Amino acid sequence: MAMRIPLTARKPEPDAPGVRPQMLWSLSPRSDREAGDAIASNFMFHAFPAKVSKASMAWSYSFWLGTISAALFLLLIVSGLPLLFLYVPSVERAYQSVKDIEFVITFGSWIRAVHRIAAHGMVIAVFLHLVRVFLTGAYKNCVGRGQHREWNWVLGVVMLLLTLLLSFTGYLLPWDQLAFWAVTVGTNIASSIPWIGPTVRELLIGGRTIEQATLIRFYVLHVVVLPLGVGVLFAYHMWRVRKDGGLARAEREAVLERPREVAAVPTKTYTLLGVARGQAPVIRAQALEAPDTTVNAVPDLVRRTAIATLGTIAIVGIMAVFIASPLEEPANALVTPNPAKAPWYFLWLQEIVTDTTIRIGSFTLNGAFVGGVVLPGLLIGLLTAWPWLDRSTHLAAGVWWARARTRQNIVFLLVVLGILALTFVGMELRGPYWNIYWPWEAWPDIPARI
């Protein structure tokens, strides 16, 4: 009678040939099969495809701005955790807790500087990423089935707005004069909306004045709601990139690539039972994804992702050593600084508000409504709908300065340069009473307004 050996008692089989029994084998695969197994079996690498186009990995194409934005978001979460335990979201104790972080806690000032620089850097990186996608026409569908690149563009616009809100809500938390009056100016723009403006402002600040309700509301939005929203949209954004076939340049390269003959795989059986009568069969295969146009995601894509991520973290960490975070005197609603400025990324709106306020006799055109609501609303709406308005050929997708998109690229760049110019004017040239002072002109001594 045959004896059955339990599975647990069976002698383990020796390792299969070609497979290395080491923990980090997926970081340095020796074959295409091991590289594919690394993607399939490794949770961290599973977000990557098995093969990636060499053209899409070029530093000069995307500048890896999406990866840099994700690295900055990760750095914000990591640096925000210790601040979360040390900060007290109370009008009476918020300023003192930030002061303790800055001057008492070991490495507290450096951690706060890392958090602040990463926040500003994320605004810049996401904005530049959006500019790159527009200039390369990467929101356009090519020939792949089931593509919806235009919706990924919409997700990018929404994530830019959420990034601005994430930075804006964190701006108030130090509860000093700079933060208090910057939020005051920003929320006053929202109150200029006809009929619903005051209600919108009260919804934002939790009342009619900026006080405890505003602080706790901004704190919850900054710590929980907005990071969760950005994280979910980012995950869906990356999933859509995979579903759409990768970056637009990779698909364009595949469209332009001519089919070429590739060598048949010697280990495959191409005839039924390996038997063929008559003339010997000749195996020919054609493929668009030739070996010289693609590389394995592991280790090539992983290596470049690690370089972009670790390089971003290192640069921010070094900058935080030399650039300290500002902390002015405690917030005081009775003392108005002159000039009172919005956060730097909203200064172009504040500048437009000033420039579009027109008085003709007793009639006054509300610049806060025109410059703070109408014009930015039109820009955001037009930017969101542009993938459906762009009629250029699909071959312009993934191409820097495509001829078919020259006119729209020029108009887009003019708008971007206009926003940057207005931001520079508001940041560097505006002085007391919102007058323009050139860099060589000294500001007059103006007492604080009470």
**pLDDT tens, residue by residue, 102-147:** 999 999 999 999 999 999 999 999 999 999 999 999 998 876 667 8
Give the pair of three-digit tokens for residue 17: 């040939």
Cis peptide before 339 (omega within 30 of 0): yes
Give the pair of three-digit tokens for residue 414: 């003019």
Per-residue model confidence (pLDDT) at position 264: 55
Classify each residue of 193-228 as buried b or exposed e, where b means 16 or more C-beta atoms within 10 Å of its C-beta: beeebeebbbebbbeeebeeebbebbbebbbeebbe
* Dihedral sign of CA atoms 256, 261, 263, 269 in order: positive
Helix-helix angle 149-171:177-190, to 10 degrees: 130
Per-residue model confidence (pLDDT) at position 448: 55
CA 109 to CA 93: how far, in whole Å? 18
**For residues 240-265, average pLDDT:** 66
User: pTM of whole model > 0.85?
Assistant: no
Selection from 402, 409, 408, 131 nearest residue 249 by Cα: 402
Q: With a cut of 50, say whether residue 286 has pLDDT above it.
A: no
Give the confidence band of 7 by pLDDT, cuts at 50, 70, 90. very low
Report pLDDT digits (tens) over 166-178.
Answer: 999 999 999 999 9
What percent of the chain has pLDDT above 70?
Answer: 80
Greatest extent of the chain over all pairs of C-alpha atoms, in Å = 112
Per-residue model confidence (pLDDT) at position 25: 55
Least confident interval from 177-181, 368-372, 406-410, 444-448? 444-448
Cis peptide before 299 (omega within 30 of 0): yes
Q: Which residue has the higher pLDDT, 359 or 201?
A: 201
Per-residue model confidence (pLDDT) at position 132: 96
CA 370 to CA 354: how far, in whole Å? 10
Per-residue model confidence (pLDDT) at position 32: 77
Q: With a cut of 90, say whether residue 298 has pLDDT above it.
A: no
Report pLDDT digits (tens) over 197-208.
Answer: 888 889 889 988
One-letter amino acid of 356: T
One-letter amino acid of 287: A
Q: With a cut of 50, say whether residue 16 has pLDDT above it.
A: no
Q: Which residue has the higher pLDDT, 32 or 329?
A: 329
Least confident interval from 156-165, 268-277, 339-348? 268-277
Q: With a cut of 70, say whether residue 449 has pLDDT above it.
A: no
Per-residue model confidence (pLDDT) at position 8: 45
**For residues 17-43, average pLDDT:** 66
Q: Which residue has the higher pLDDT, 439 or 17?
A: 439
**For residues 291-318, average pLDDT:** 89
CB atoms under 10 Å from CB of 442, counted, come to 7
Per-residue model confidence (pLDDT) at position 93: 95
Across the chain, mean pLDDT equals: 83
